[in-house]
Amino acid sequence: MTDTVLTDFATEEAAHTGRAALDAWVANFAALTQPDVILWCDGSEEERARLLAEMTASGALIALNHDLRPDSYLARSTPSDVARVEDRTFICSADQEDAGPTNNWRAPNEMRRELDARFTGSMSGRTLYVVPFSMGPLGGAISQIGVQLTDSPYVVVSTRIMTRMGRPILHEIDAGARWVPALHTVGMPLCTPSGARLPDVAWPSNETKIIAHFPETREIWSYGSGYGGNALLAKKCFALRIASSMAHEEGWLAEHMLLIKVTSPDGHTYHLAAAFPSACGKTNFAMMSPTRPGWIVETIGDDIAWLRRGEDGRLWAINPEAGFFGVAPGTGADTNPAAISTIRSGTIFTNVALTREGDVWWEGLTPEAPRNLIDWQGKAWTPETGTPAAHPNARFTVAADQCPTISDDWDSRDGVPIDAIVFGGRRATNVPLVAEAEDWEHGVFFGATTSSEQTAAAEGPVGILRHDPFAMLPFCGYNMADHWTHWLRIGEALGENAPRIFRVNWFKKNAAGKYVWPGFGDNIRVVEWIVDRLQGAAAVDWTPLGGLPRTGALDVAGLGLEDADLVDLFDVDPELWLAETDQIDRLFATFGERLPLEMSSRLAQLRGRLEELR
């Protein structure tokens, strides 16, 4: 029996450097997938206009009313392709231990064999687009190049928004740059094996989906989905999973973090990086409209940060992306006016509702739903219908520079120096509104013990509490415990220059099940306390959960909060927390010997302090 594995051609490091290797790789992949046409994307305005016109003509996109929503489009996915598929996402490291217990693992050769079979002929009747892109400003010290091959024009126009894409990147490759290869097919060929032509559909996909990563050879293979994090491979697959593994090897960090610049009323500026799980408030925090006079928040990134120790010994960060792929539901003029203004034009919407006038709508855009809508599945909808008009994970795709709060230095080649790191999650109980870590190691413990109620950003049950360490559970391309060790080492290297670390939770609920904290623009009050702490000013009470604002130190004036609400926001309940430490213990135990000792000793310390409080 022969055991030829076609995809082995791409396993040498040199295989992904320079132009000759790129040409060979594209030719090989075309031979495997058998597209009708190969199109090298130049990223031009003409190319974008042509693709949008083709997709509008074919029904893949609906052009919105040009007067109401200029140059904007609606895509409706097939109902089985609306979110990331975590149980079909694989880290194919040579050794299973290197993927770790929180990732799905497949042996590389076994996965390559399956992918070879799936990709064979998968593009017949379609166009293969070659999409070169840069994550981070082209030529920046922290930036990286990738090339995605795809048979989805939706992916091409989306990648043009989300990354720096096109001809300038090819020039870098011509000059010998290394690139990360990313292969994508929607898995719906348009020719039968006998050559008969099949009709296309508005949103091609395959019921079987495979999102595979090969960290050792830095390759991505994605099959069967056209949706967001499954298909825009520059984003989660490259900028988080593969990049985190590169960063682990090379001494930097790739994290699921927003980046903001905060200016206080006295004119000082600070840069914050914050990690919250999917659909837990990063975009909203990144575009915050502060309710406190004199405070300014400017946006640098809303989803991903790459961080590296700079020559000055501080931690510097870039947003590797060039656009926002943001959650639509809940985004309204009252909650996120900056996002509303960002998406006024030039936006691709996915799975939102369509109004009779040809504009978009979703739950939370306005307090009242319009009377007659077409829902995200293309069906007539009225407020009495009883199902959401927009899918809960409906998204907008829009260029970062359209955002009115975008910071001047959002695309600075060197990035920005980070003053504070924040971890957050969606927790109805236990986790206080804000807490400060004692030191870097304690902050790593905050990151490692982050948990959150699941959201609609991934397939699966919503609302169930799960651990999501560093908000990286679905995105860490290597063993999660090694990620914690890596963070501890980075902290050692930064020493006195290390940013301070905090934990926040906007989502505590009271006994009536209502959010206690107003959130959104009022989150500036928490930022204000954090900044005061950086300046050494704000008063703090040290508790087993870290440093909490002393009564009066966090300004809650005018919010109408009752004493009982403040108790809810800052309560340290030893019984609830001892139960939570048991769950953390179970998580930690899954890592065996890879768990850094610092984490088990911090857990023991937390338990001891909680016992004392009992």
Q: Compute the least distance from the CB of residue 278 to ligand SPV, in Å.
A: 3
Burial 318-342 (b: 16+ CB within 10 A, else e): bbbbbbbbbbbbbbbeebbbbbbeb
Residue 270: alpha-carbon gap to chain centroid = 23
The 3-state DSSP class for residue 71 equals coil
Beta strands in 470-568 (DSSP E): 500-504, 540-543, 546-549
Number of residues that this document lists for the chain: 614
- State whether residue 299 is helix, strand or coil: strand
CA-CA distance, 353 to 330, in Å (whole number)?
A: 13
Where would I find the beta strands (DSSP E) of 412-456?
A: 416-417, 420-424, 434-436, 451-453
Residue pair 301/321 in contact by the 8 Å Cβ criterion: yes
Distance, CA of 185 to CA of 23 (rounded, Å): 19
Which residue's CB is nearer to ligand SPV, number 187 or number 229?
A: 229
- What secondary structure, in 3-state letters, does 469-508 show? HHHCCCCCCCCHHHHHHHHHHHHHHHHHHCCEEEEECCCC
Tokens of 531: 């900044």
Q: What does the block give as tokens for 566?
A: 């403040």
- Binding to ligand GTP by residue 548, rule CB under 6 A? no
Residue 326 CB, shortest distance to ligand SPV, in Å, is: 8
Minimum separation from the CB atom of position 256 to ligand SPV (A):
7
Nearer to ligand GTP, 457 or 610 (CB): 457
Chain positions contacting Mn ion, by CB under 5 A: 278, 303
**Residue 298 engages ligand GTP in binding (rule: CB under 6 A):** no
Question: Counting contacts by CB under 6 A, is residue 506 touching ligand GTP?
Answer: yes
Q: How far is the CB of 450 from Mn ion (least distance, A)?
A: 14
Question: Which of Mn ion, ligand GTP, ligand SPV, none sits in contact with 270, Cβ below 5 to 8 A by type?
Answer: none
| Binding partner of residue 229 among ligand SPV, ligand GTP, Mn ion, none, CB cut-off 5 to 8 Å per kind | ligand SPV
- Within residues 48-87, the interface with ligand GTP by CB under 6 A covers none
Minimal distance, residue 101 CB to ligand GTP, in Å: 23
Q: Among residues 130 and 504, whose Cβ is nearest to ligand GTP? A: 504
Residues that bind ligand SPV (CB under 6 A): 84, 228-229, 235-236, 278, 303, 325, 457
Per-residue DSSP letter, 8: G
Q: Toward Mn ion, which CB reaches closer, 419 or 468?
A: 468
Spot the catalytic one: 41, 280, 403, 476: 280
Q: Which does 520 bind (CB under 5 to 8 A by kind): ligand SPV, ligand GTP, Mn ion, none?
A: ligand GTP
Sheet containing strand 373-374, strands side by side: 360-361, 353-355, 373-374, 380-381
- The footprint of ligand GTP on residues 456-495 (CB under 6 A) is 457
Does 278 contact ligand GTP by CB under 6 A?
A: yes
Q: Does the annotation mark 191 as catalytic?
A: no
Positions touching ligand GTP (CB under 6 A) are 276, 278-284, 302-303, 326-327, 329-330, 335, 457, 506-507, 515, 519-520, 523
Q: Among all residues, which ones are annotated catalytic? A: 280
